[in-house]
Chains A and B, each alone.
Chain A
């Protein structure tokens, strides 16, 4: 008998048009580590909610250890066995203190007090929160809150843990601490079901299930799934290491890898196995890379030695400095990636750039004009420098899409034909066709569409500089791709971009200049490729370099003469071919080698 057995399950949300699950079948055995991936709206969350009876199928059935979730009597034992952790940690807190929150589950099980105490202690220890037990959950960082949510689930001592994008809100270091915890749990025999948009994380599972429109579209090992050519149709793309190794395998005898480390090891071994030919190291390193030159011209917006401290709203500590002596100038047509760990001050910096926060110390100049608290009207400045907040879909309020996007331009005084034209332009810019979408109900759109509406609402003001805070967070790979495409188009039209992001691949793709923040200071400001060529420096900042850069660093560390940076897979490939082609004397085209 399988541990979890989903048979032909169907479910549709009340009031929704289509079904969220359309005859989905899935079996999970005890001790498995299953990753579930799929486009936004493919039914992942709906499935997760079925796994412990929070939703029950309208047709078909879901059984956990032989118990049918439709029977009222089986819910309590099922929830005891299968624990769920959701995406937003702040939506899972039910206690006044960390400890009481972790105790909520065991309390509901009606366990005796000493047993609750034991479980809470154990769960908090595992999640690394023991020192913070007395804190109010409100005083935790995002990563700590997420670990508290996991601790709350662990305190139930479940046999199976289902995580629905439980790492989405974390920065790389926070993410890896959660991922390590998961591996530990799985080793200890806990069945894991991990819903995620990050293919690197999905690749760690032993089994990968792809959902597409409420059905299982593929169910195999991660490697097999990533080789399927339907991947883009499912809204997915393979992890970077896989993509790189696939490219290389067409020309070099390398196998397909899921992570950068093992690909690097194979490449090093390959290089050692082929007798070294004469290598012109200089030529390998030079050329190729289009040299980055700092943008010239008058800055549109300038910050000069700005410092900022938030008054500590919790009244516990003093002021928390969030920016220290930051200077930054943004010039026309530039694209800047703003990177840094959570809490490093990225959002605060963005808000300074469009005068939402006026510098307490230091200066802000827009088009050369100093902005001070006495500046009468800040609205024109905010129109010239647009800001898209994180999860901007949450700011929508108008009934109809057209009105939502027209809101800013209307306040600006636009009306009639010109307003309509402006709205049409903005909608088409973000890839929402004007006619069919302008009269749709804003709140009935999908999450990805809502995000596009929100971005359109800002670019409808035609800013010269567009600031974006984590524009792709929470989107599936294809959705993220669309947003990135949009940014590239805007840039080509001459809009300067500043985007803050945790995703280094994204930063490398869109931006040519990188600004790294660390504890409120500018730790790096220069060519993006230069920064990505120093993975150790990035690690110090709590960040992870993009996959090609990590691979290069690994190969260079093994003594291979390679250039310091390569941003895309293409550039990496040609750098590697420069290295290998002369060695193997052109005889490397041995085709794909699908070992391991």
Chain B
């Protein structure tokens, strides 16, 4: 069994240091923009808009975080078999997309509409992967906690535990490598007692029991760490619902308003489908 290197898998997973517009954007603004674009990509039906976004994302990645591009495409390649299966189920032979010219592709004959639908699905997933890749390349994991706190701060007045929530994220991020090391230590100390993780026979209970020497102490340790940490937090004056200030405050600049605004506007825009004409042009071409 390979080692469980929590820290290796996380830490700075995909962050590429830099000083581009995106790097410097307020974490909350970036998260909002990300949310807007994700929503747009998910609701956008026509391939033309998805293609436009796809181009845009490639340009953005190339100019701001070129080294993140290969890993994004590697991910797409890994997802490809399932995506192809998916379009085969979702787009091929579905009556609603059976329009347009018949295009002979080797042994199969596709309608133009089917092809467009396939392309749209593939582009949608490509957009999602590139979008998240771009975001991750220009954000530290810790920005997640900061973004969560800033975005939920307005709801704190309504009773939403905004700070608690962002603290839980910070703690989780800090605990992942810590527990990864603990897991590795436990794996070794049980191996020293002869544990080999080989399931003995087909029994489900036996297979699970073989893992208990690892999982029970790991989770008990996590709970014990949590208990100690809770005490340390309280000792340093944390109280639920108490007011607090912050040392690190990210300044808000014009771009921090503009970028998410544009991205959030995309959702209604996509729903209105301004490229309708382009798509119908494509349709007519396909005819």
Contacts and interface: CB of A to CB of B under 8 A. Distances in A.
Interface residues of B, number: 53
B173 A104 contact: no
B194 interface: yes
Contact of A110 (B5, B196, B228, B243): B243
A117 to B, nearest CB: 7
Contacts of A54: 231, 234-235
Given A52-B235, A91-B225, A137 B174 contact: yes
B216 interface: yes
Given A92-B232, A457-B193, A116 B171 contact: no
A163 to B, nearest CB: 12
A325 to B, nearest CB: 23
Nearest to A314: B11
Contacts of B196: 379, 411
Contacts of A234: none
Interface string A148-160: 0100110010000
Interface in B121-146: 142, 145
A93 B216 CA distance: 24
A95 to B, nearest CB: 7
B237 to A, nearest CB: 4
A416 to B, nearest CB: 18
Given A90-B225, A314-B11, A108 B190 contact: no
A394 interface: yes
B242 interface: yes
B174 A138 contact: yes
Contact of A96 (B11, B170, B213, B216): B170
A130 interface: no
A105 B221 contact: no
Contact of A86 (B170, B188, B231): B231
B192 A407 contact: no
Contacts of B248: 99-100, 103
B149 to A, nearest CB: 12
| Residue with the greatest number of chain B CB neighbours at <10 A, chosen from A88, A96, A156, A443 | A96
B145 A96 contact: yes
Interface stretch (A75-83, A173-181, A577-585): A75-83
A287 B26 CA distance: 76
Nearest to B187: A356
Contact of A389 (B12, B145, B180, B188): B188
A156 B233 CA distance: 12
A91 B193 CA distance: 28
Interface in A395-446: 395-397, 407-408, 411-412, 443
A383 B194 contact: yes
Nearest to B8: A313
Interface in B225-283: 225, 228-229, 231-239, 242-249
Nearest to B170: A96
B119 interface: no
A490 interface: no
A105 B234 CA distance: 9
B208 interface: no
Contacts of B229: 91-94
Interface of A, helix, strand, loop or mixed by DSSP: helix
A407 B237 contact: no
Interface string A106-128: 11111111001100100000000
A315 B8 contact: yes
B86 interface: no
| Residue with the greatest number of chain A CB neighbours at <10 A, chosen from B234, B243, B249 | B234
Contacts of A408: 193-194
A310 B71 CA distance: 25
Contacts of B180: 313
Nearest to A467: B192
A52 B235 CA distance: 7
A84 to B, nearest CB: 4
B192 A458 contact: yes
B173 to A, nearest CB: 7
A143 B131 CA distance: 41
Contacts of A110: 242-245
Contact of A394 (B11, B221, B233): B221
Contact of B167 (A94, A356, A397, A411): A94
A49 interface: yes
Interface string B1-12: 000010110011
B180 to A, nearest CB: 8
Interface string A344-358: 000000010010100
A133 B16 CA distance: 21
Interface string B192-208: 11111000000000000
A335 interface: no
Interface in B90-112: none
Contacts of B186: 394-395
A413 to B, nearest CB: 10
A49 B231 contact: yes
Nearest to A55: B231
A49 B196 CA distance: 41
B177 interface: yes
A138 B178 contact: yes
| Residue with the greatest number of chain A CB neighbours at <10 A, chosen from B11, B232, B244 | B232
A461 B194 contact: yes
B194 A395 contact: no
A90 B186 CA distance: 17
A247 interface: no
A97 to B, nearest CB: 8
Contacts of A311: 8
| Residue with the greatest number of chain B CB neighbours at <10 A, chosen from A92, A95, A108, A109 | A108
A513 to B, nearest CB: 23
Given A356-B188, A395-B190, A75 B239 contact: yes
Interface in A316-369: 351, 354, 356
A382 B236 contact: no
Given A96-B173, A311-B8, A395-B217, A86 B228 contact: yes
Nearest to A119: B247
A99 B174 contact: no
Contacts of A395: 186, 189-190, 213, 217
Top 7 A-B residue pairs of the complex, sorted by shortest distance between their CB atoms: A91-B228, A108-B237, A103-B247, A313-B7, A105-B236, A92-B232, A84-B235
13 contacts: A79-B237, A83-B235, A90-B178, A94-B229, A94-B233, A110-B245, A116-B245, A137-B174, A313-B5, A395-B186, A397-B217, A407-B213, A458-B192
Interface of A: 49, 52, 54, 75-76, 79-80, 83-84, 86, 88, 90-97, 99-100, 103-113, 116-117, 120, 137-138, 149, 152-153, 156, 311, 313-315, 351, 354, 356, 379, 382-383, 386-387, 389, 392, 394-397, 407-408, 411-412, 443, 457-458, 461
Given A91-B229, A313-B5, A383-B194, 11 more contacts: A83-B235, A93-B229, A94-B238, A108-B236, A108-B242, A110-B244, A116-B247, A138-B177, A315-B8, A387-B192, A408-B194
